[in-house]
Structure 1
């Protein structure tokens, strides 16, 4: 049996995700009849039925569900290989670093300074994004290495912790709770975080770990200034790393400790099985800088409050 073609997988994924041949054809920019023929050809090729079709609906068979999972992975791998090869083949290749602006605990300038003298170093190209954009960029080939806060999807990645630091709560300076030097999560019951979850549910199954560091739902383009403005107005509170709070002192915002709030972990991550010398040099520089910049507790760099 001959190998599957990328085109066949792309056609199948579109139909499997839309569960509608017309919508899938529109998504692919093609007519519906040739798409239907392509799916029938793929089923004959595999000698299995992938889709159950009626006049009213399209459904995946067990074989179709299995192929969809693997097809997505295969297409992601092909796209990543394409992007990495194009970057490596450029006249002036770069090391593409994914991160969220200001989520580097102040380490980035020191890391870059430690990395550049290495014989394998390449010019560093920053790939900035919102919270949660860094690990997908590593998997799909848009980035070679990432500095990112936990938690993140570790599938297909290797990583090392750089720093653990306390988180604080940011609230309006006029908030009655701001009169207290230290709080507990229970004191924040009913207060909303930027993503709409309740502050006292932080870290629980019904909440999202690290929710306060995530962009608001439906508003991933919100920047720090917008979030700070909402905090100043008393509309929300926000959990953020102490290093970020130190960068943004604002008279309208009070930063307070929360005794039972989990700390923030900053990691460096790269694609699993990566054999790039520039990536290895960057990881080594990052870990060396983190270890030299902060005392080590329990085997890892840790910032005190």
Structure 2
């Protein structure tokens, strides 16, 4: 059969999500009869029933459920392709996604070793999603906890977890604490809030936040805040991650020059940290 059109995928997704032809037509800004005809034509072209229709309801068939998941992935990929093409037409720009609470030491070391456009920092918990949807170009990711499928990575450093506590807190004078103990305090955040480290330290100093971050954050402590090691949480291996784009006709790395330059800087840091042998590719 001929290749399906994007319009057909959009029509099907609307019906599959609404499970109601009239609501789907309203969502798409079209009349209901042509939408029904378009879905029926799509099913004929594919040779499978995607929807089960009765007088009272519309349901997805097994084939329809699979096709919905694939359509959503394809449409997301198309949106990302448009964003990346738009970004490629702009002046050189590099967005580095980092986790909230990340210490500045590793980032500063990376940027000192990098000769290129000044990166913009994006603080986000879902750094791999930022890479895949084109919001970020490169990211500091956590090996073993982030979804690294489809990414190239270079391991840079290992960080142990520490709790940021106000100096006057009852646990502040302890040599170590546990996450269980921290959870008893209503100010404890199970996940670091999506903000820069400076704002996080201000909130901790005011007694409004207790958070667990990487040990590198200790380089930025203020007099009102202390960092206490957390013994029942694992260490985190930080790595630089980026997408390796390919085409049907080539498996060559298609990264922009500024991304390639940052990757080279990361390799130099990895060698310094004895993560990989000198000269490794």
TM-score bucket of the superposed structures, by smaller chain: 0.7 to 0.9
Q: Deviations 1:103-147 (Å, cap 9, x if unpaired)?
A: 36423344334332xxxx5x3552624211x21122123333222
Which residue of the partner structure matches residue 228 of structure 2? 256
In structure 2, C-alpha distance between the alignment counterparts of 1:257 and 1:95, rounded to whole Å: 34
Q: Deviations 1:246-288 (Å, cap 9, x if unpaired)?
A: 313241x332112232123322111134432523332121231
Deviation at 1:67, TM superposition (A): 0.9
- Note closer, same or farther for the CA distance 1:13–1:109 as it changes in structure 2 (3 Å cut): same
Contact 1:162 1:268 in 2 (8 A): yes
Which residue of the partner structure matches residue 213 of structure 2? 240
- Note closer, same or farther for the CA distance 1:286–1:30 as it changes in structure 2 (3 Å cut): farther
Which residue of the partner structure matches residue 200 of structure 1? none
In structure 2, C-alpha distance between the alignment counterparts of 1:23 and 1:124, rounded to whole Å: 47
| Number of residue pairs matched by the alignment | 268
List aligned pairs for 1:45-194, cutoff 5 A: 45-90=45-90, 92-100=91-99, 103=102, 105-116=104-115, 123-126=117-120, 128-132=122-126, 134-150=127-143, 151-188=145-182, 190-191=184-185
Q: Deviations 1:140-182 (Å, cap 9, x if unpaired)?
A: 2333322234522223322222211112112333332223222
Alpha-carbon RMSD across the aligned residues, in angstroms, is 3.1
- Note closer, same or farther for the CA distance 1:228–1:112 as it changes in structure 2 (3 Å cut): closer
Q: Which runs of 5+ in 1 are unaligned?
A: 198-211
Deviation at 1:89, TM superposition (A): 3.4
Which residue of the partner structure matches residue 249 of structure 2? none
In structure 1, C-alpha distance between the alignment counterparts of 2:37 and 2:140, rounded to whole Å: 45
- Given the two structures, how large is their TM-score scaled by the length of structure 2? 0.79
In structure 2, C-alpha distance between the alignment counterparts of 1:262 and 1:42, rounded to whole Å: 50
In structure 1, C-alpha distance between the alignment counterparts of 2:23 and 2:119, rounded to whole Å: 37
Deviation at 1:46, TM superposition (A): 0.8
Q: Which runs of 5+ in 2 are unaligned?
A: 246-252
- Note closer, same or farther for the CA distance 1:194–1:62 as it changes in structure 2 (3 Å cut): farther
| 2:39 pairs with 1:39 | yes
